Structure 1
Amino acid sequence: MTDIVISEEQSSRFVDIVEGDLKAKVHYNDFGSGDEVVIMLHGSGPGATSWANFSQNVEPLVKAGYRVILLDCPGWGKSDPIVSTESRSHLNAQALKGTMDALGIQKAHLIGNSMGGHSVTAFTLDNPERVGKLILMGGGTGGLSTFTPMPTEGIKRLQALYRNPTLENLRAMMDIFVYDPSSLTDELLQQRLENILARQDHLDNFVKSIDTNPRQFPDFGARLSSITAPTLIMWGRDDRFVPMDAALRLVAHIPNAELHLFNRCGHWVQWEHKDRFNALVLDFLAADK
């Protein structure tokens, strides 16, 4: 069997999309060549990309025969800069639809982390026929938490980092981003800071977006019951960015949903518990075939 090479550089691609009022050049990474496609969308942290979010989760899917696409939303990574004055969830859903159309992908399984979870939920609500299975971690719907003051501690630190991107503010955010920050080396944090500072336009546009419309991620609670796609929800019990009761709302309202809670886990299930995450995703996607 030929060795599978999982490389950010070798998989890097661009596509020009036009979807509604959105016209943009979008960056994505493309792995494998299976008939079934899995598309992953990242969170909203400064310097985030889908490669940074999911690099440890691609290889098991490709080995299992899936084509895997990591999409950088407009305003992140190498995709075009943009200011979002309305719903960021729907903006990213437009980018996802435009990318699928441009690449000739009629249907895909969707995985969304944090902001990516909100975005794939928005896409699923408006394009149900184009979604196979849905996987959400740390995001999927907005709305207030019953138990945690909003905005949460994590969101406050994220916004502080956008406004003042220093190593100190990055460390302050990452210290509560994951349950155990001991693996976050100085070298890793410095590299992340360099990635953040490399796109000052993305930083400035995110701040402009929040200042224009603080409610970038709408509450889909009233519409969740219309989602028919089989849905796997994974969450960290110790998430200090999006509280666990958001996961409970999702599983309560999405009819064909199941929930897996990870103890000793923050906002990044797919990184903090990668082996268990990968196994759950593969089992979920393979079920009922």
Structure 2
Amino acid sequence: MSIPVDKFVNFQGSMVHYLICGAENPGDWVVLLHGKRFSAKDWKESGLLDQLNKENYKVVALELPGYGTSEKLQNELSFEDFISEFTKQLTLPAFHLVGPSFSGEIALKFALKHPERLLSLTLIDSINVDQYEMQLNKINAKTLIVWGKEDQIAPYNYALILKEKIPNNQLLTFDHLGHTCYFDDMPTFSQKLLGFLR
């Protein structure tokens, strides 16, 4: 099992930080985004990187520009376009994308704009879902929706919108947890995610 390695890549003049780990000849690649208050190391500390590693995935836990230890971009580029260009710079094939909270919205936009890059989409307590309601039926990637029913930031109604509108989806609800349900019950979340990715 490989140990997560800290890396920086020069992206158009800005240093972008990510953690990478996993098999030399992986089954698939998984890209993990992060919530606004979190960073790549939170995924590492949660144990999810080890779990994915054991299942023969190659994992990139990315710190978006301006977050964690990644520098802000010098050029105007949306986060979804940055992810597309960043993963191409790393020569990633199509991948599984996991986005919690504010990066859930980024992942949504990525799925709408760059569908050919996705193997699957996992949306966790995503903000601003209602702004994309009319476009959600265009998402053709299989999608895992994960929500804490007690979420005070992204209401549970957003999960129901996603469930109704995205054609190929599964919903995992944590009845008694809130916005960070995935970290609060990592054993359940990781088991569901691994089953979904297979």
| TM-score of the two chains, using structure 2 as the length reference | 0.91
1:151-230, aligned counterparts within 5 Å?
219-230=131-142
CA 1:83–1:248: 2 relative to 1, 3 Å: farther
**Alignment match, 2:9:** 15
**Alignment match, 1:117:** 104
- Asked if 1 retains the 8 angstrom alpha-carbon contact of 2:120 and 2:142, the reply is yes
Cα offsets for 1:207-255 (capped at 9, x unmatched)? xxxxxxxxxxxx2211110001110101001111111111111111101
Q: 1:106 aligns with which of 93, 117, 121?
A: 93
Pair 1:236 & 2:177 matched: no
* Letter of the structure 2 residue corresponding to residue 75 of structure 1: G
CA 1:104–1:72: 2 relative to 1, 3 Å: same
* Letter of the structure 2 residue corresponding to residue 61 of structure 1: L
Query: 3-state DSSP class of the match of 1:222?
Result: coil
1:34-183, aligned counterparts within 5 Å?
34-45=26-37, 48-53=38-43, 55-56=45-46, 57-81=48-72, 91-139=78-126, 141-143=128-130
**Alignment match, 1:32:** 22
Find the structure with the greater CA-based Rg: 1
**Matched positions, count:** 195
CA RMSD between the two structures: 2.0
Pair 1:260 & 2:172 matched: yes
**Alignment match, 2:190:** 278
Name the one with the larger strand percent.
2
Unpaired segments of 5 or more residues in structure 1?
A: 144-218
Q: Which moved more, 1:131-140 or 1:271-280?
A: 131-140
| TM-score of the two chains, using structure 1 as the length reference | 0.63
Q: Percent of aligned positions with the same letter in both sequences?
A: 29
Displacement of 1:44 in angstroms is 1.3
Q: Which runs of 4+ in 1 moved over 6 A?
A: none
Query: 3-state DSSP class of the match of 2:35?
Result: coil
* Structure with more relative contact order (C-alpha pairs < 8 Å, separation 6 or more): 1
